[in-house]
């Protein structure tokens, strides 16, 4: 293993900001001197940049609604001589604030759970990219858009990380369909959904077929017609 191999293996980790501070500074210094690593890192940042990694907004602190209601109820005694309806209004206000606080907390918990799921998926994606022994890429031109299909092959886990980028949303009533190419024919895999600003990512396992997988294909298929063989336009066809 040469000293440069460390930079090659940690390109994805640098893009995901997963390196230690000292390692990140070392890698950043290397990028200024290595055209190859700078080019590959720029490509990874372009493909992985749209992934959502933001932290959900903070929830109103617990007890806020009760403090607001308490402040209303402790106002100077002039209002206590007013109509009893004012006290009822304060109770309704407190109940409404409590409901909104619980709803906000529930929404925040759901957002945090979704973020954790997305981060776990990103870690799984990056682990495959870092350990991939075979990477295949094919450019795709469609209706004035220029995109591509990238496949990272991990022979250890026998999984592929598939990235489709730069293409518009699929035509109405159609889907982008990913296929495995085997010696016994085409095997339908996942549907990929994206638009020109947000790439599609999918991690797929090898199909349970008698023969080995020899390549992959991407087509546009009718959404409601799941035929065993491609019937729509072929966008990409790659051989391994």
Biggest alpha carbon–alpha carbon distance for the chain: 89
**pLDDT band for position 225 (50/70/90)?**
confident
State how far the Cα of 103 lies from the Cα of 107, in Å rounded to an integer. Answer: 6
Is the pLDDT assigned to residue 79 strictly greater than 60? no
Comparing 70 with 26, which gets the higher pLDDT? Answer: 26
DSSP H or E run through 148: strand 145-154
pLDDT in tens, 87-106: 666 666 666 667 677 777 77
pLDDT at 182: 93
* Structural contact between residues 153 and 134, judged by C-beta atoms closer than 8 angstroms: yes
Mean confidence (pLDDT) of the chain: 78
Torsion of CA 212, 213, 215, 221, to 10 degrees: 140
pLDDT in tens, 126-167: 555 555 567 888 999 988 899 999 998 877 777 888 999 999
Q: What is the mean pLDDT of residues 196-204?
A: 85
State how far the Cα of 78 lies from the Cα of 136, in Å rounded to an integer. Answer: 78
State how far the Cα of 114 lies from the Cα of 119, in Å rounded to an integer. Answer: 9
**pLDDT band for position 64 (50/70/90)?**
very low
Is the pLDDT assigned to residue 68 strictly greater than 80? no
Is the pLDDT assigned to residue 230 strictly greater than 70? yes
> Which residue, among 147, 154, 115, has the nearest Cα to 131 in the 3D structure?
154
Is the pLDDT assigned to residue 237 strictly greater than 90? yes
């Amino acid at each position: 293993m040469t000293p440069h191999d460390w930079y090659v293996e940690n390109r994805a980790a640098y893009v995901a900001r997963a390196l230690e501070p000292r390692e990140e500074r070392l890698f950043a210094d290397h990028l200024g001197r290595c055209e190859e690593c700078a080019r590959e890192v720029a490509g990874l940042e372009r493909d992985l940049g749209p992934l959502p990694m933001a932290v959900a907004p903070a929830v109103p602190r617990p007890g806020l609604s009760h403090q607001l209601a308490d402040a209303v109820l402790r106002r100077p005694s002039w209002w206590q001589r007013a109509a009893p309806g004012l006290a009822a209004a304060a109770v309704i206000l407190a109940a409404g604030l409590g409901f909104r606080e619980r709803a906000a907390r529930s929404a925040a918990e759901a957002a945090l759970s979704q973020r954790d799921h997305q981060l776990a998926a990103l870690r799984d994606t990056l682990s495959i990219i870092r350990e991939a022994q075979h990477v295949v890429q094919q450019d795709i031109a469609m209706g004035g858009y220029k995109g591509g299909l990238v496949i990272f092959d991990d022979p250890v886990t026998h999984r592929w990380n598939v990235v489709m980028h730069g293409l518009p949303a699929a035509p109405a009533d159609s889907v982008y369909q990913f296929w495995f190419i085997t010696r016994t024919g085409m095997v339908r895999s996942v549907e990929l959904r994206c638009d020109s600003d947000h790439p599609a990512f999918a991690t797929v396992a090898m199909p349970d077929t008698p023969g080995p997988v020899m390549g992959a294909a991407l087509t546009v298929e009718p959404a409601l017609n799941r035929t065993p063989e491609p019937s729509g336009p072929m966008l990409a066809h790659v051989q391994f």
